[in-house]
Structure 1
Amino acid sequence: MKKEAFCNQLASKLSGIPRTDKLLLIGDFNARLGRDNDKWPLVMGKHGNGKCNSNGELLLALCSEL
């Protein structure tokens, strides 16, 4: 799937960044993250809205690995 391939490519590019650095990932990912901030406490804040879509799940998973 193109979305997963994109996330894999992005993850490989970002893997060289030290984990101690702060990283802001900015872009139009067409992702809804939802409100389940308990599942992603280190990735998203407490002000989610609506339901998470598949793009949101991929983006949250990618961010949690970095």
Structure 2
Amino acid sequence: MQNWIKGLIGISLFLLLLEAMLLYSIRLVSYPFLFYSSLLYLLALLLALYLGDFNAPKRTNKKR
């Protein structure tokens, strides 16, 4: 995996954690909602990474 993808994942996870702490500190949402929304977010991120890797141009060894 490329380094910029790892950085993107790290930044997005950090922002998700920050958002969760902020929302819980002002008592907007409860813990289960935070848990499920973060789970959905992670699933979407992994799916996007997998699809992006899947749709990447394949390396072929065919001679022209």
Query: What band does the TM-score fall into relative to the shorter chain?
Result: 0.3 to 0.5
Q: TM-score, normalised by structure 2?
A: 0.36
Q: TM-score, normalised by structure 1?
A: 0.35
* Structure number, greater radius of gyration: 2
Between 1 and 2, higher relative CO (CA 8 Å, sep ≥ 6) is seen in 1
